[in-house]
């Protein structure tokens, strides 16, 4: 697909998003957008840098709490709270990244998972976070005099934030930085031998990914008015991996597709089947790893290439 065609597609997608609340309950779409943003941020790391973080919930959850606290206790305006959450995610990302990047591959995944668990216990035990109950009653606040308590008004704020972030991620992937990341992912020793200090590039990717995951968490707090331990739990870390894997890692739209499927699945099933949801999630993992590694979008692209008779690796 060339650049013109894809920008037309994006404009259509944006227009559909703007019109969607007419047909679908806006809170559901907003929830999907929050997780889609989370998964896109995660994909920047897994799909475009080749790093599997198994602790991304710590950025979602950490910023969810931070924004919640900022809006409640410090009474910051909503936008400032969102910005603070993003910044907080990035700072936490820098700290965690510096530690985790010292180990490669599988160890990197384990280190991030363990650090996320540390974060989880910190949130569980510290005084501001409300322990098992989480932070409740976070006000949505207002923006330019518009009351965000109105779902429709909040909806357009979230759509704009999501679209801007999506654009930024796109831009990052295609930037000189993104090109460098790609080289590192393709052949790290060669990149080093060409003079690249690969750890610093990985760290920046990690910080960006963590910051945007933080933004997703902050948006989620504003949307629902609470932050809970679930956001920081390893289950959530696993879920974002699944969204990306199922949608297609390393594809631009994959994480959005994956997030849509998983969020809808959960809202359909959660009340009906109880802990079978976990079992289903487990089977999805197994399915994706064994036979569906390209994911929904990846398979779609492959199919498209086959139809027009082109070779696709």
Partner 1 sequence: MNEIFGIPLPALLGQLMLGLVNGSFYALLSLGLAVIFGMLHIINFAHGALYMMGAMFSWLAMVYLGIGYWRSLLLVPLFVGAIGIVIERFLLQWIYKLDPLYGLLLTFGVALIIGGGFRYVFGSSGQPYSIPPELGGAVDLGFMFLPKYRMWVIVASLTICFATWFMIEKTRLGAYLRAGTENPGLTQAFGINVPVMVMLTYAFGTALAAFAGVLAAPTTQVSPLMSSNMIITVFAVVVIGGMGSIMGSIITGLGLGVIEGLTKVFYAQASSTVVFIVMVIVLMVRPAGLFGKEK
Partner 2 sequence: MTDKTVATARPEAEPILETHGLVKEFRGFVAVDGVDLKIRRGHIHALIGPNGAGKTTCFNLLTKFLQPTRGTIRFKGRDITGEAPQRIARTGMVRSFQISAVFPHMTVLENVKVALQRKLGTTFHFWESGASLRRLDEQAMALLASVGLERYADMVTVEMPYGRKRALEIATTLALEPELMLLDEPTQGMGHEDVELVMQLIKKVSVNRTILMVEHNMKVVSGICDAITVLARGAILAEGDYDAVSSNPLVIEAYMGSEAAQLAGAH
List residues near partner 1 by CB under 8 A: 52, 54, 99-100, 102-107, 109-111, 113-115, 117-118, 121-122, 125, 234, 238, 241, 245, 274-286, 288-290, 293
Question: Are 223 and 27 contacting, i.e. CB atoms less than 8 angstroms apart?
Answer: yes
Asked if residue 191 binds partner 2 (CB under 8 A), the reply is yes
How deeply is 217 buried, as exposed, middle or buried, from its count of CB atoms within 10 A (0-12, 13-18, 19+)?
buried
- Residue 135's DSSP bridge partners are 227
Return the SS3 of 142: strand
How far is the C-alpha of 114 from the C-alpha of 29, rounded, in Å?
A: 32
How far is the C-alpha of 279 from the C-alpha of 218, rounded, in Å?
A: 29
Of the pair 142, 180, the CB lying nearest partner 2 is at 180
Structural tokens at position 104:
């490669």
How deeply is 171 buried, as exposed, middle or buried, from its count of CB atoms within 10 A (0-12, 13-18, 19+)?
exposed
Find the binder of partner 2 among 193, 271, 272, 310 (CB under 8 A).
193
Of the pair 54, 162, the CB lying nearest partner 1 is at 54
Find the binder of partner 2 among 10, 14, 201, 226 (CB under 8 A).
201
Q: Residue 125 binds which entry of partner 1, partner 2, none, with Cβ cut-offs from 5 to 8 Å by kind?
A: partner 1
Number of residues binding to partner 2, judged by CB under 8 A: 29
Return the SS3 of 253: coil
Q: Residue 264 binds which entry of partner 2, partner 1, none, with Cβ cut-offs from 5 to 8 Å by kind?
A: none
Q: Residue 149 binds which entry of partner 2, partner 1, none, with Cβ cut-offs from 5 to 8 Å by kind?
A: none
Find the binder of partner 2 among 80, 91, 198, 280 (CB under 8 A).
198
**160-189 residues near partner 2, rule: CB under 8 A:** 168, 171-172, 174-180, 182-183, 186-187, 189
Q: Minimum Å distance from CB 173 to partner 2?
A: 9
Question: Are 54 and 270 contacting, i.e. CB atoms less than 8 angstroms apart?
Answer: no
HSE on the CB side for 84, CA within 13 Å?
18
Q: Minimum Å distance from CB 243 to partner 2?
A: 23
């Amino acid at each position: 697909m060339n650049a013109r065609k894809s920008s037309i597609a994006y404009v259509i997608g944006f227009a559909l998003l703007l019109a969607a609340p007419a047909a679908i309950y806006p809170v559901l779409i907003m929830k999907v957008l929050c997780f889609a943003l989370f998964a896109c941020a995660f994909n920047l790391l897994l799909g475009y840098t080749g790093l599997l973080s198994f602790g991304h919930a710590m950025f979602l959850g950490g910023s969810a709490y931070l924004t919640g606290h900022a809006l409640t206790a410090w009474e910051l305006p909503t936008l400032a709270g969102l910005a603070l959450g993003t910044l907080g995610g990035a700072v936490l990302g820098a700290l965690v990244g510096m530690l985790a990047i010292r180990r490669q591959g599988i160890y990197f995944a384990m280190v991030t998972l363990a650090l996320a668990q540390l974060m989880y216990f910190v949130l569980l035990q510290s005084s501001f976070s409300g322990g098992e109950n989480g932070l409740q009653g976070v006000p949505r606040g207002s923006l330019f005099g518009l009351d965000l308590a109105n779902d429709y008004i909040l909806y357009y704020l979230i759509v704009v934030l999501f679209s801007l972030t999506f654009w930024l991620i796109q831009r990052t992937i295609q930037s000189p930085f993104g090109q460098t990341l790609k080289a590192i992912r393709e052949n790290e020793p060669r990149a080093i031998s060409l003079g690249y200090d690969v750890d610093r590039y990985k760290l920046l990717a990690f910080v960006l990914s963590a910051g945007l995951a933080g933004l997703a968490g902050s948006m989620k707090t504003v949307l629902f008015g609470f932050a809970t331990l679930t956001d920081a739990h390893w289950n959530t870390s696993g879920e974002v991996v699944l969204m990306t894997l199922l949608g297609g890692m390393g594809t631009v739209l994959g994480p959005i597709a994956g997030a849509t499927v998983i969020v809808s699945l959960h809202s359909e099933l959660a009340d009906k089947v109880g802990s079978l949801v976990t079992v289903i999630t487990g089977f999805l993992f197994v399915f994706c790893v064994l036979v569906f590694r390209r994911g929904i979008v990846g398979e779609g692209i492959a199919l498209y290439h086959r139809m027009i008779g082109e070779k696709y690796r």
